[in-house]
Each structure stands twice: as C-alpha cells, then as structure tokens.
C-alpha cells in the first residue's frame, strides 16, 4: 500500500472476470439514433459499475465487445476467487435482465408506435346510438320500418373492398428498422469467463504519467475459454 501511487511491479495472484457481449458491436453499428446507442452503452456500464462497487473489483477497458473486472489487483483482497465468481454471476444476471426486459420492451413499444393507425370511420357504437335517437324522435310507418331493416342488413358488414389506410413510407422504414433491431438484440449473447493466476502487476511509466498494468497470459487464457464456450454453444444449436 505504501507504493500504490509510485512506480513498482510485483508478483501476486489475481482473479480476473471477463464479460463478453457477443454481437454487441454489430448491434451498435446498426443503431441509427445516437441516443439509442448511448442508452445501450449506459445500461451496460451502470450494471458493471454497480457490481464493481459491490465486490470491490477493478474495471478494465472496454474493447472487442469485452470488459474485465479484476480482484486482488490494485489492493489486497481476501477470498478474491470467491468474489470473482460472485461478480461474474451478478453481472450475468443483471445484464440478462436488462436485455430481456428493458431493451426488448423499448423495441416493442417503438414497433407498436409505428404500427398505430388513426381511425377513419365512425364507430359502430356511435352509429347505433344515432339511429336509436332518430327512431325516438320519429315513429316510422310499417313500410319505412321494412326499408330501414333492409338498409341495416345491407350495411352491417363493411364493403368487401374496404381496406385499412396504407402505411406511409416513413412508417414502413421505421418498422423495418425496429424489426432489425429486435433481431440484433435477440442475437446478443452474454458470456463470462473467470481465471485466477499469478500475474505481474503495478505502475509503470514516469513520475508524471503512470499506468496500472497486469502482465500475464490471463487475457489469452480468457479468450480461449470464451472461444471454447462459443464453439460448444454453436455445436449444441
């Protein structure tokens, strides 16, 4: 702890949790609204930040659809392996909930909004009420009653050629966009890999500019674990 803010390197056991969001970059590339893109990223980082605070994990950089949480890295931690497993489970549960509830709900609401159409005909209820009101004001003859009954029979069903008003081109484009977004959201897969191994950690650089590093084969090992899991998932499908 005495040399935490100085230049140093030391060997120690570190537990690293790697979260990979397979297909997330493809999703972001197809988001046409920058605010939607910002919302997706904010949702991810809010959950990771919460887990980091809860378990005292060190958040790594986000690149190639993956981000890491490290334990017993910058500060000593007891039972860091258990904390890593707890953090991995917590991240997976929280982001799965965000994906299946919040993101899917947002897309479905947007699709429903695009498909709404304003009514162009008078409701059957109001038409019936008007007929009843007219019948109270004027008592028709028997012949008029027959004509009225025949008229009602003719107009009870809409004409065969009656069709809903067509969507505008803009509505169709919006529907296609959100249908594509729904497919991309469904294709995003969350994978977690955890490893605990000896690493060289510390601060490198100069007295003016320091960078905290973890030198090890952990990154390679985590990639192999994720790759193996992805291949296994494809084989099972």
Residue 108 CB partners (closer than 8 Å, separation 6+): 182
The CA angle 203-208-211, to the nearest 5 degrees, is 25
First to last CA, the chain: 49
Cα distance between residue 102 and residue 94, in whole Å: 11
Domain borders along the chain are 8-115+171-236
pLDDT tens digits for 73-95? 989 999 999 999 999 999 999 99
pTM of the model: 0.69
* Contact criterion met (CB below 8 Å) for 53 and 69: no
CATH topology of domain 8-115+171-236: Alpha-Beta Plaits (3.30.70)
Cα distance between residue 23 and residue 20, in whole Å: 9
pLDDT tens digits for 114-133? 665 444 443 434 444 555 55
């Amino acid at each position: 702890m005495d040399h935490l803010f100085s230049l140093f390197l030391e060997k120690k056991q570190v537990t690293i949790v790697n979260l990979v969001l397979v297909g997330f970059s493809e999703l972001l590339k197809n988001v046409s609204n920058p605010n939607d893109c910002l919302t997706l990223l904010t949702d991810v980082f809010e959950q990771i930040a919460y887990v980091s605070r809860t378990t005292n994990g060190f958040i790594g950089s986000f690149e190639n659809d993956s981000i890491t949480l490290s334990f017993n890295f910058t500060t000593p931690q007891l039972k860091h392996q258990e904390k890593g497993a707890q953090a991995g489970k917590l991240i997976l549960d929280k982001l799965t909930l965000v994906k299946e509830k919040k993101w899917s709900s947002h897309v479905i609401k947007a699709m429903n909004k695009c498909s709404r159409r304003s009514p162009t005909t008078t409701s059957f209820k109001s038409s019936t009420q008007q007929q009843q009101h007219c019948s109270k004001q004027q008592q028709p003859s028997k012949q008029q009653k027959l004509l009225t009954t025949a008229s009602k029979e003719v107009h009870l069903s809409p004409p065969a050629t009656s069709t809903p008003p067509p969507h505008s081109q803009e509505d169709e484009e919006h529907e296609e966009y959100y249908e594509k977004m729904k497919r991309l959201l469904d294709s995003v897969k969350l994978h977690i890999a955890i490893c605990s191994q000896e690493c060289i950690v510390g601060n490198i650089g100069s007295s003016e500019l320091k960078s905290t590093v973890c030198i090890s084969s952990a990154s390679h090992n985590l990639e192999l674990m994720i790759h193996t899991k992805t291949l296994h998932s494809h084989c099972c499908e």
